[in-house]
Structure 1
Amino acid sequence: MMGFLMDHLIVLPIVLPMAVGAFMLLLGERRTWFKASLNGLSTLAMLAIAIALLRQADNGVPVSVAVYLPANWQAPFGIALAADRLSALMLLITSVLGLASLMFSVARWQRAGVHFHSLFQFQLMGLNGAFLTADLFNLFVFFEVLLAASYGLLLHGSGPDRVKAGLHYIAINLTGSMLFLIGVSIIYGITGSLNMADVALRIGQVAATDRSLLEVGAAILGVAFLIKGGAWPMNFWLPPSYAAASPPVAAVFSMMTKVGIYVLLRLSLLLFGDNAGDSAGFGHDWLLYTGLVTLGFGGIGMLAAQNLGRVAGYSVIISSGTLLASIGFGRVGVTGSALFYLLSSTLALGAFFLLMELVERSRTFSSDLLAITREAFGLDLPTDNDDNDHTNVGVAIPAAMAFLGLSFIACTLLLTGMPPLSGFIAKFSLLTDVLNPTGLTPDSSVEITMTAWVMLALLIGTGLTGVIALTRTGIRVFWAPSGRAVPRLRVIETFPIAALLVLCVIITLRAEPVMRYMDATAAALHAPDDYIRSVLSARQLTESATQAPSKVTLEARP
Structure 2
Amino acid sequence: MTVLPWLNHLIIVPVLLPLIVGALMIPINQKRHGLKFGLGLASGMLLWAVAVALLVLADGGYWPGGIGVYLAANWAAPFGIALVADRLSALMLVLTATIALAVLVFSARRWDRVGVSFHPLFQFLLMGLNGAFLTNDLFNLFVFFEVMLAASYGLVLHGYNLRRIQAGMQYIAVNLVASLVFLIGVSLIYAASGTLNIADLGARVALLGAQDAWLLQVGAAVLALAFLTKGAMWPLGFWLPTTYASASAPVGAMLVLMTKVGVYAVLRVWLAVFGEGAGAAEGFGFAALTLGGMATVLFGAIGMLASQDGGRMAGYGAIVSSGTLLAVIGHSGGAVLASGLYYLLGSTLAMAAFMLLIELTERIRPPGAALIAITMEAFAIEDKPEDPVGVGIPGTLAFLGLSFAACALVIAGMPPLAGFVAKFSLFHAMLAAAPEGVPATTWGLIGLMILAGLAAIIALMRLGVRTFWAAGAVTPPRLQFSEAVPVGALVILCVLLTVQAGTVFDYLDRTTAGLLRSGDYAARVLGEPPVLRAPGAEGAR
TM normalised by structure 2 equals 0.92
Residue 325 of structure 1 is matched in structure 2 by 327
Distance 2:214 2:194 in 1: 16
Cα drift, residue 60 of structure 1: 4.9
What residue in structure 1 maps to residue 26 of structure 2? Answer: 25
Contact 1:361 1:487 in 2 (8 A): yes
Task: State whether residues 367 and 482 of structure 1, in contact with CA within 8 Å, keep that contact through their aligned partners in structure 2.
Answer: no
Give the letter for the 2:451 counterpart: G
C-alpha displacement of 1:529:
1.3
Q: Name the amino acid aligned to 1:404.
A: L
Of 489, 502, 507, which aligns to 1:512?
502
Structure-2 separation of matches of 1:490 and 1:365:
20
Q: How does 1:318-467 map to 2 (within 5 A)?
A: 318-364=320-366, 366=368, 399-437=395-433, 446-467=436-457
Aligned to 2:219: 217
Superposed displacement of residue 287, structure 1: 0.4
1:37 corresponding residue in structure 2: 38
Task: Tell me, in whole angstroms, the C-alpha distance in 1 between the residues paired with 2:147 and 2:475.
Answer: 41
In structure 1, list runs of 5 or more residues that go unmatched.
371-396, 439-444, 548-558
| Preserved contact between residue 8 and residue 69 of structure 2 (Cα < 8 Å) | no
Structure 1 contact 333–519 (Cα < 8 Å) conserved: no
For residue 191 of structure 1, the aligned residue among 190, 193, 208 is 193
2:315 is the counterpart of 1:313: yes
Residues 533 and 546 of structure 1: is their aligned pair in 2 closer, same or farther, counting only changes over 3 Å?
farther
Q: Would you say how many aligned residue pairs link Structure 1 and Structure 2?
A: 514
| Inter-CA distance 312–139: structure 2 relative to 1 (3 Å threshold) | same
Distance in 1 separating the partners of 2:333 and 2:116: 46
Q: Aligned residue for 1:496? A: 486
Closer, same or farther in 2 for the Cα pair 1:153/1:4, shift >3 Å?
Answer: farther
Q: Helix, strand or coil for the counterpart of 2:74?
A: coil
- Looking at both structures, which has the greater relative contact order when contacts are Cα pairs under 8 Å and sequence separation is at least 6? 1
CA distance, structure 1, for counterparts of residue 8 and residue 269 of structure 2:
27
Query: Which residue does the alignment assign to 2:278?
Result: 276
**Relative to structure 2, which stretch is displaced further, 491-500 or 204-213?**
204-213
Work out whether residues 367 and 484 of structure 1, in 8 Å CA contact, stay in contact via their aligned partners in 2: no
1:302–1:466: 8 Å Cα contact kept in structure 2?
A: yes
Contact between 2:203 and 2:519, CA under 8 Å: does it hold in 1?
Answer: no
SS in 1 for 2:185: helix
Percent identity of paired positions between Structure 1 and Structure 2 = 52
SS at match of 1:67: strand
Give a deviation string over 1:349-379, Cα, whole Å, max 9, x none: 1100000000011114745999xxxxxxxxx
Q: 1:230 Cα shift?
A: 0.6
Give the secondary-structure state (helix, strand or coil) at the position aligned to 1:541. Answer: coil
One-letter amino acid of the structure 2 residue matched with residue 467 of structure 1:
I
CA contact (8 A) 1:364 1:483 kept: no
Does structure 1 retain, via aligned residues, the 8 Å contact 2:185–2:222? yes
* Structure 2: tracts of 5 or more residues without a match: 373-392
| Aligned mates of 1:424, 1:132 — CA distance in 2 | 30
Deviation at 1:322, TM superposition (A): 0.6
- Higher gyration radius (CA): 1
Corresponding position of 1:128:
130
Partner of 1:326, secondary structure, is helix
C-alpha displacement at 1:214, in angstroms? 1.2
Q: How far apart are 1:546 and its partner, in Å?
A: 8.2
Q: Secondary structure at the match of 2:327?
A: helix
SS class of match (1:106): coil
Q: Name the amino acid aligned to 1:143.
A: F
User: What TM-score, normalized by structure 1, do the two folds share?
Assistant: 0.89
Measured after TM superposition, the shift of residue 522 of structure 1 is 1.2
Aligned-residue RMSD, C-alpha:
1.9
Structure-2 residue corresponding to 1:522: 512
8 Å Cα contact 1:298/1:314 also seen in 2? yes
Would the aligned equivalents of 1:110 and 1:116 in 2 still touch at CA under 8 Å?
yes
Q: Which deviates more, 269-278 or 175-184?
A: 269-278
Partners of 1:162 and 1:405 in 2: CA distance: 28
**Take 2:6 and 2:69, find their aligned partners in 1: how far apart are those partners?**
15
2: CA distance, partners of 1:14 / 1:398: 41
Structure 2 Cα separation of the partners of residues 229 and 482 of structure 1: 39
